Chain A
Amino acid sequence: MEFLNVLLLLFILVCAVSVSLTKNLLTSLIIFMSQSLAMSIIWILLQSPDLAITEAAVGAGVTSLLMFVTLKKIHAIDIQKDAQGGKQNGKAEE
C-alpha cells in the first residue's frame, strides 16, 4: 500500500510539471484530468471515499468538460492547426 501511495504521488508530481510544460492546451487538459483521477485514488487510500467520489466527478469530470468547452469557444481546438503545431514542435525538438 505504501508503494502504491508513493507511486501515485510521483504520478501527480509528474503530471503537475508536465501540465505546465506542455505547449498544446488540449494535451495539458487531458493530463490535468488524469492527475485529478490519481488524486481521487489517493483520497480512497487516505480513507475518505466521500472526497474521492466528489474529486472524480468534479475534478476529473465537470471541470475538465467546462475547460474543453472553453477551449472550443476560443478556437484553441483546431485539428489542422494542431497537426501543424505538432509537426513544428517535433522539428524543434529534433
Chain B
Amino acid sequence: MAKLRNDYENSFFGRLDRWIRGGGSRLEQEMERDLTEPAPESPLLSSESIGEREDAMYARHAEAHAKEQAMFDRLHNWSRTRGRKLMNALYALLSVVICLSVILVLLETVSDLPHFGDEENPINNEVSERYIEKGLQETGAVNIVTGMILDYRAFDTLGESHVLFIAACSVLILLRVSQERQGGAASQEKLDAEANDRIYEPKNDIILQASARILVPLILLFGIYIILNGHLSPGGGFSGGAVMGAGLILYLNAFGFKKTERFFTYKTFKVISFCALAFYALSKSYSFFTGANHLESGIPLGTPGAILSSGLILPLNIAVGMVVCCTMYAFYTLFRKGDM
C-alpha cells in the first residue's frame, strides 16, 4: 500500500503545479519574498497597553465562560427532560415500525408459499416417495421418521449428537467452578457457588418431594419407553433423552445433589457420553467415506413391529438418548452449581 501523504504543498505534484503556474522553485520564491517584504517591526508595548489587553482578555474569558455555562445548562436540560422524552418516543416508534415491517415481509413470504398438503408441492418428489414406499422394507422401522433419521440419514444424526456433546463441553469450560485446592480445603469460589445455590429455595420442600416421588419414576419410564420404542411409535433418541433428562433434573431439584451424586457424577457423564458417541461413530461414520451410501450391517431386520427389529436403529436410538439425557442434566448442573 502506498504511503499516504497529506502535505500536497511539498509533494512532487504540488511543486510541479506551482512551477507550471509560473512560480519558480520554492527556494526562489522565499528568497524573493524576503527581499521584497521586510519583516514587520515589533512595536514596543507600554505598560498601559499591556493592562488594557489583560483586561480585555479577562472580559473575553468571562464572556466565554458564561456562554459555555448557558450552553451546558441548555444541553443538560434538553437531554434530561425533553430530549429524553423525544428519544424514548423515537425508539418506541422505530421499534414498532421495524417490527411491523418484518411481520409484513414474513407474511408476504408465507402467502407465497405453496398450500399446505398440496399434491404439487416441491417436497413431494422421488426422495419422499422412496422413503414412504421402501422405508419399511429397507430399514425395518415402522416409524418412517426414525427410519429416515437413523438409517438413511444416520450421519446427520451423528453430527447432531456430536454438536450436543460439544455444547456440553463448552458449557463445562465456561461455567465449571475450579475444584478443591491442594490443601484439601474447598476453594472460596466453590463455597460461594454452593451458598448461592441455596439462597432462594428451601432445602427440603415437602410438596416438591412428594410429587417428585410419584412423577420421577413415571417420567423416567416414559423416557425409556420413547427411546426403546423409537422405531415403532413416534419419538426416538432425542425426545426420549430430553424427557429423561427433565426427569433427572426434577429429581435433583427435589432431593439435592447428595442423592444424585450416588449415581450421576462427572465420571458417569464422561463414560456414558464417550461410550455412546464412540459406538455411534463406529457404526455409522463410514457414511462420510462412502458418500452417504449404505453398507450392509449384516444384522437381520427382524419382523417389523417387534421390539427387537430394524437392525442398528434400536442401539443407535439408545446411544442418542444416553447422550441427550446426559447433556441435558450436565447443562442444568453446570448452570446451577458449576459442577456435576
Contact = CB atoms under 8 A, between A and B. Distances in A.
Interface of A: 49-50, 52-54, 57-58, 61-62, 65-66, 69-70, 72-73, 77-79
Interface of B is mostly: helix
B234 A66 contact: no
Nearest to B241: A57
Contacts, number: 54
Contact of B234 (A49, A61, A69, A78): A49
A47 to B, nearest CB: 10
Given A62-B245, A62-B249, A62-B328, A57 B200 contact: no
B242 A54 contact: yes
A14 to B, nearest CB: 15
Interface residues of B, number: 21
Contacts of A57: 239, 242-243, 245-246
A53 B226 contact: yes
Interface string B185-220: 000000000001001100000000000000000000
B196 A53 contact: no
A49 B235 CA distance: 7
B242 A62 contact: yes
A62 B331 contact: yes
Determine which residue in A49, A57, A73, A77 has the highest number of CB atoms from chain B within 10 A of its CB, and name it. Answer: A57
Interface string B318-340: 00000000001001100110000
Given A62-B328, A77-B200, A69 B239 contact: no
Nearest to A54: B239
B236 interface: yes
Task: Report, nearest first, the 8 A-B pairs whose CB atoms are least far apart.
Answer: A57-B242, A49-B234, A53-B239, A61-B246, A54-B239, A69-B335, A57-B243, A50-B234
